[in-house]
Amino acid sequence: NVGRTSRHHTFFEMLGNFSFGDYFKQDACRFGWEFLTDVLGFDRSRLWVSVFRGDDNAPRDEEAVRIWTQQLGVPAERVLEGSAADNFWSMGDTGPCGPCSEIMYDRGERFGEAKLENGERFFEVWNLVFMQYMVEEAGGPMKKLPAPCIDTGAGLERIVSVLQNVESNYDIDLFAPLVSLAGTIAKKKYGSDAEDDVSMRVIADHARMAAHLISEGIFPEKTGREYVLRRVMRRAIRHGHRLGIEDLFLHRVAMAVVDGMGSAYPELVERRELIEKVCAQEEERFRLTLTRGLSLLAENSDWHQGPAGKRILPGNIAFELSATYGFPLDLVEVIGAEDGFTVDYDGYESAKDSHKLRSGAGRIGEEAAAPGYRDILEARGKTEFTGYDRLTDDAVVLGIVVDGASVQSLSAGQEGDIVLSRTPFYGESGGQVGDTGRLTAAGAEATVTDVTRPLPGLFAHRVRVAGGTFRAGDPITATVDGDRRKDI
């Protein structure tokens, strides 16, 4: 939805406050209402509220209804009642929980019917969670908390959009310069084409997210939260490609984020060069992947026929694009929506399951090691660890593993695992994370992003090759990031 609606974001600034066993529902409603209307000057006639309507598990929030209508003067017809999905919060299967009440801004009848689920007409600017119950066992009864609590949340961008009287969060002064810059780079005018506007908004939002995550020490990778960052960055890059931007651009927009938000977030300024470098490197790598993936899709002649003659991309091809070429399924889906095809998801999952069986994923301990590591261990022996005494050492490349298989070389822009004859890098184990640093050889350099031990005595250095080519048998120099080692 990011870029297609006026208020969805991957990164936004959440305002809020808590009360633990101090003021509760009456004061929380009053404080929120007074802040929005008296301090910020919101038009009272534009404000609606939502309350929990009750269900089999918890009663209707009668107290909140009385506070809004009788004490704060909100007309009864502007009180909307929501289900548990919208108006009840819980920490999980157990723990504190309670009804929610929202203050919403009404954009007017031209945006449709006055109902809670109409997110284009009503958007939440203030959310109050009334933690008044406790569930001690999953599926058990709710008991009253002896000291009820308040959790307030409010989106800065949404509040600013009301104060600045604009239609969209992307029109506020926090966002508009980024959207404008995306348009300048693309040589297109924002507001002249709906699909181009979506792309510019995506770039603006995703550049903010990327800059902040990188400043917090998260880098684009293949798994976990790092993969979330990679997907978001690659979606932005793809939209730049769609706009016809030929040069690297994401780092330029990220630098505008640093300039605009650096006074409030000093870590952006401190890591400015790192943010710029990571954005540029990721875009450079992905542009090669994007070009190759689009070419493979254009050249593909193996299609299934769906209802009404709609093309369906076979699942094994979709998986190959992801596993072999780094072209993720969600990107294939986006392109399919534009080009008129869908994906055979059952076939995709089947191909993925087959790949897991071949690579050893899902097995435990030593059995989980991919065949490539076993080949290296059997043919060339173990890695000698020297990291207790030194942070740099010379070694020989015992082997290289990509997607579980042993390969002979790894070149600029590629990622994989390099196994060495000896290493000063600590491999993740016993609760301690692996070291990071760099590997250098004649004409080649790689960044080590992690080190693991896939088999006893074998150290796998996860690398991104910055330049040149690493080959099995090459002499190399391994250097640990000493400051990070000390911090660990």
d(CA 342, CA 319): 14
Question: Residue 432 has what DSSP assignment?
Answer: B
pLDDT digits (tens, 9 = 90+) for 194-225: 999 999 999 999 999 999 999 998 898 877 88
**CA-CA-CA-CA torsion for 361, 367, 373, 379, nearest 10 degrees?**
-150
Torsion sign across C-alpha atoms 246, 248, 254, 256: negative
H or E element, residue 14: strand 14-20
d(CA 424, CA 391): 5
Pick the residue with more confidence: 329 or 174? 174
CA-atom Rg of the chain in angstroms: 27
pLDDT digits (tens, 9 = 90+) for 111-127: 888 877 777 788 899 99
pLDDT number for residue 256: 98
d(CA 35, CA 42): 9
Query: Mean pLDDT over residues 286-311, rounded?
Result: 85
- 91-95, 145-149, 434-438: least confident range: 91-95
Ramachandran class of 154: left when φ > 0, alpha when ψ lies in -120 to 50, beta otherwise: beta
**CA-CA-CA-CA torsion for 469, 475, 476, 478, nearest 10 degrees?**
140
pLDDT number for residue 357: 60
Torsion sign across C-alpha atoms 11, 17, 19, 23: negative
45 Cβ contact partners less than 8 Å away, ≥ 6 residues apart: none
Structural contact between residues 142 and 148, judged by C-beta atoms closer than 8 angstroms: no
pLDDT number for residue 358: 54
pLDDT digits (tens, 9 = 90+) for 423-481: 999 998 777 889 999 999 999 999 999 999 988 889 999 999 999 999 999 999 999 99
Give the mean pLDDT of the chain. 90
Query: pLDDT at residue 367 above 80?
Result: no
Structural contact between residues 102 and 87, judged by C-beta atoms closer than 8 angstroms: yes
- Percent of the chain at pLDDT above 90? 64
Other beta carbons within 10 Å of 323 = 15
pLDDT bin (cut points 50, 70, 90) of residue 368 is very low
Taking the chain, what is the end-to-end CA distance rounded to the nearest angstrom? 39
Total-model pTM = 0.69
d(CA 355, CA 349): 10
Pick the residue with more confidence: 305 or 184? 184
Structural contact between residues 454 and 370, judged by C-beta atoms closer than 8 angstroms: yes
Query: Mean pLDDT over residues 246-271, rounded?
Result: 97
Q: Which of 454, 394, 369, 386 is nearest to 425 (CA)?
A: 386
- Listed in sequence order, the DSSP H helices in 216-249 are 224-242
How far lies 24's CA from each of 19, 37, 74, 150, 285, in Å? Answer: 7, 20, 19, 6, 52
